[in-house]
Amino acid sequence: MSSALNLAHEPLTKIPSGKLAMWAFLASELMFFSGFFGAFIVLRSGNYDVFGAGSAMLDWKLATLNTFILIGSSLTMALSIYHLEKKNNNMFRLFIGLTTLGGFGFLIVKWIEYSAKFHHGLFPGQEHHTLFFSFYFLMTGFHAVHVIAGMIPMGYMFFRSFSKDGYPYPWKVETLGLYWHFVDLMWIFIFPALYLMIPYHAAVAGH
Partner 1 sequence: MSDHANPIPSYMKVFYALLSLTVLTVVAAKLLEFPHSWGTPGDMLHVSIGVVIAVVKVLCVMYIFMHLKFDSKLLRAFVAIPVALFIAMIFGLMFLEHFSYTH
Task: CB nearer to partner 1: give 145 or 204.
Answer: 204
| Minimum distance of partner 1 from residue 125's CB (angstroms) | 28
Measured CA distances, 169 to 62, 122, 154, 174 (Å): 36, 45, 13, 9
DSSP track, 59-107:
-HHHHHHHHHHHHHHHHHHHHHHHHHHTT-HHHHHHHHHHHHHHHHHHH
What x/- string results for residues 158 through 187 when contact with partner 1 is judged by CB under 8 A? Answer: ----------------x--xx--xx-xx--
Task: Measure the CA–CA gap between 58 and 207, rounded to whole angstroms.
Answer: 11
| Minimum distance of partner 1 from residue 100's CB (angstroms) | 17
Measured CA distances, 147 to 10, 63, 89, 107 (Å): 32, 15, 24, 8
Task: Measure the CA–CA gap between 197 and 129, rounded to whole angstroms.
Answer: 19
Residue numbers 69-128 binding partner 1 by CB under 8 A: 71-72, 74-75, 77-79, 82, 85
Q: Count CB-CB contacts under 10 A for residue 71.
A: 13
Binds partner 1 (CB under 8 A): choice among 17, 34, 126, 163: 34
Give the containing element (helix H, strand E) for 196: none
Binds partner 1 (CB under 8 A): choice among 1, 5, 9, 14: 14
* Interface with partner 1: number of residues (CB under 8 A): 52
| Minimum distance of partner 1 from residue 149's CB (angstroms) | 18
Interface with partner 1 (CB under 8 A): 13-15, 19-20, 23-24, 27, 30-31, 33-34, 37-38, 41-42, 44-46, 48, 60, 64, 67-68, 71-72, 74-75, 77-79, 82, 85, 174, 177-178, 181-182, 184-185, 188-189, 191-193, 196-201, 203
